[in-house]
Chains A and B, each alone.
Chain A
């Protein structure tokens, strides 16, 4: 399968290890992966601030990078994948933009729904807390939402259960927002930080050694709090865990 890897801008710059783990994992599972070299960002920072109108250049660039008829475009972030799925348009190549919107996948949904992964050669002997990032969960339906009267399921949990010796802990609030929220994290700093503190405490209280999730943006925010408060929990992207030997 011909896959293009789309990495969120901050992952490229600050968390190359997450990109590396994603790439290695996809290759391990038999995909032919290309990383288009001139990619930058999905445009969400502008759009969520009210300036979707400024994202034209960003959108055209995205189509230039990913418009080559890939079987799938895989992104280790539910938030960025959701943004592309809902908002990517192009003046020049709308056909290609449509193809991209229909073929972009968040990493865990790609693994469970497209590759139909049933087992993983991974071992991770730790207690792990899973943070459900909202855009992945409520936007892309990666997991059932606690508000709805509907049958439970979870794509990231299904994958974590395939990892040997990994123990998934239960949280008091299984899908509360961490408070990152893009520019919300600086424009509403007080509430954002407080939400993050509460989220981290839930994981620590319930015995997580490792806090994981599918969106590095939420994890960057939570990790910032963990490091400031010197808490005994490690923050890792889910790709890093699924890629453990």
Chain B
């Protein structure tokens, strides 16, 4: 597997595509800015959301049980899954009990995290993702590259090609309206014939036992309303205490995500319709471990808006797939090491720590500070490359010793002046696309010493 830096290098080789990707996502960031600057109390809303989540995380045990009890009272079956495997087994069992071999799914990053599709397909279940973007990446046999815009890495011409191959659209057609209509017709047939539907959960309300699913395409509703069985999968951190808190989160979510005032559909589910079964699967999958890490527990406040990705200058120029994790970008980089430190040790370093992510975060997660802290943890646990560690040791000893620092500095500058090739060569990553600074004959200190001696 390529690490982030290698994958990003490959991504940037296509200069025009990188430009396009960067501009497309920056456009979304600008839309977000326009939307939030219309809300004078925006920063207060963020603070409120952050505190509500703080309360929810601090009392998760009580809120989850309250939610479960209320959901059961509403006629919903509630399941608990310790990890992704358990979650997938529960889904399969529900499908088997229903006798369903086909299922429609609407957006759920949790099921991406659990690799549900791969699991169900192995078990002979046909799963169709019904969000347009999700369907596109599913047809392309790729993971989503963004949590809100899963196929943002694909140009419309590429989607046209994919639809031509799989949905029989005209060759060469790339008109978004035409392609969306083709997908609509294709998906309609799936909605009408599938007996089971799975949705994600954006917010689960403890006091009512209900949950809210936010989409722009209405596909969650279409799936859930037509199926005999509705399965809703949620991470334990999706809980909020009261229904009134939705008034905070729904205002923040879509504005942060896409610059819309609210998602087209904010669907509130409380109980199954007559003759329908409704299941909720509450999943941990590493979340309690993260909750137990004081420096990183705030990452569980995330409401999956993707604003940190859109604003991240590194994400925009490296693409979501370079993060090799279901959730990419800055938030993915603080969540992923919790799941697997070795595999994801590169991610907290895929950042300049510029801090823009923390500023756009609607629940005020200190993302860039957590990136810094993960670096310390990963280094302490031995997951940082040993050559880098040795280099840092040498650097630390030079900086702790003023004479050695001055000697090395002077020697280095002399070397650069006399033998420029010693640093200006292709083995120096700096020099690949940048000139080295021109080394001056004297350092500031040398100049300062001369000046002081003249004055005396």
Contacts and interface: CB of A to CB of B under 8 A. Distances in A.
Interface string B36-48: 1101101100000
A117 interface: no
Interface stretch (A51-59, A96-104, A107-115, A205-213): A51-59
B409 interface: yes
B26 A173 contact: yes
Nearest to B448: A35
Given A35-B448, A149-B37, A49 B379 contact: yes
Contact of B396 (A35, A55, A179, A197): A55
Contact of B400 (A48, A58, A189): A58
Interface residues of B, number: 75
Contact of B359 (A40, A57, A147, A180): A147
Contact of A13 (B350, B388, B392, B443): B443
Contacts of A1: none
A191 interface: yes
A162 interface: no
B376 A53 contact: yes
A53 B353 CA distance: 19
A42 B439 CA distance: 21
B402 A191 contact: no
A58 B433 contact: no
B352 A41 contact: no
Interface in B206-244: none
Contact of A191 (B8, B42, B378): B8
Interface stretch (A15-23, A118-126, A163-171, A236-244): A15-23
B372 interface: yes
A184 B352 contact: yes
Given A13-B413, A15-B437, A190-B9, A41 B399 contact: yes
Q: Label chain B's interface by main secondary structure.
A: helix
B380 A134 contact: no
B378 A50 contact: yes
Given A7-B444, A195-B317, A223-B437, A49 B375 contact: yes
Interface in B31-83: 33, 36-37, 39-40, 42-43
A190 B14 CA distance: 11
B434 A193 contact: yes
Contact of A57 (B12, B379, B400, B430): B400
B179 to A, nearest CB: 30
Nearest to A17: B440
Contacts of A10: 437
A50 B384 contact: yes
A138 B359 CA distance: 9
B393 interface: yes
Contacts of B447: 16, 19-20
A11 B437 CA distance: 11
A157 interface: no
Contacts of B389: 51
Q: Label chain A's interface by main secondary structure.
A: helix
B253 interface: no
Interface string A174-194: 011101111111111111111
Contact of A61 (B5, B40, B400): B400
A49 B393 CA distance: 11
A7 B448 CA distance: 12
Contacts of B360: 147
Contacts of A228: 433-435
Contacts of B12: 190-191, 194
Contacts of A37: 402, 445, 449
Contacts of B443: 12-13, 16
Contacts of B454: none
B392 A46 contact: yes
Contacts of B435: 223-224, 227-228
Nearest to A41: B399
Contacts of B359: 138, 145, 147-148
A213 to B, nearest CB: 14
Interface in B1-40: 4-5, 8-9, 11-13, 18, 22, 26, 33, 36-37, 39-40
B405 A9 contact: yes
Interface string B307-327: 000010110011000000000
Given A57-B397, A61-B402, A177 B18 contact: no
Nearest to B389: A51
A17 B448 CA distance: 11
B354 A186 contact: no
B436 interface: yes
Contact of A12 (B313, B397, B412, B444): B444
A61 B399 contact: yes
A190 B432 CA distance: 9
B430 A224 contact: yes
A191 B440 contact: no
A224 B428 CA distance: 13
A20 B451 CA distance: 11
Given A188-B5, A191-B317, A51 B396 contact: yes
Interface string A37-76: 1111101011111111111111011000000000000000
Nearest to A199: B313
B8 A9 contact: no
A242 to B, nearest CB: 17
Given A12-B444, A52-B376, A150-B43, A224 B437 contact: yes
Contacts of A48: 353, 372, 375
B451 to A, nearest CB: 9
Contacts of B432: 189, 193
A187 B349 contact: yes
B379 A50 contact: yes
Contact of A221 (B39, B413, B434): B434
17 contacts: A16-B444, A23-B448, A45-B395, A46-B396, A47-B372, A49-B384, A50-B384, A51-B389, A58-B400, A61-B400, A61-B402, A139-B355, A177-B352, A179-B313, A185-B430, A188-B314, A198-B317
Given A15-B444, A38-B402, 6 more contacts: A13-B409, A16-B440, A48-B372, A180-B352, A186-B429, A189-B9
Interface of B: 4-5, 8-9, 11-13, 18, 22, 26, 33, 36-37, 39-40, 42-43, 311, 313-314, 317-318, 349-356, 358-360, 372, 375-376, 378-380, 384, 388-389, 392-393, 395-402, 405, 409, 412-413, 429-430, 432-440, 442-449
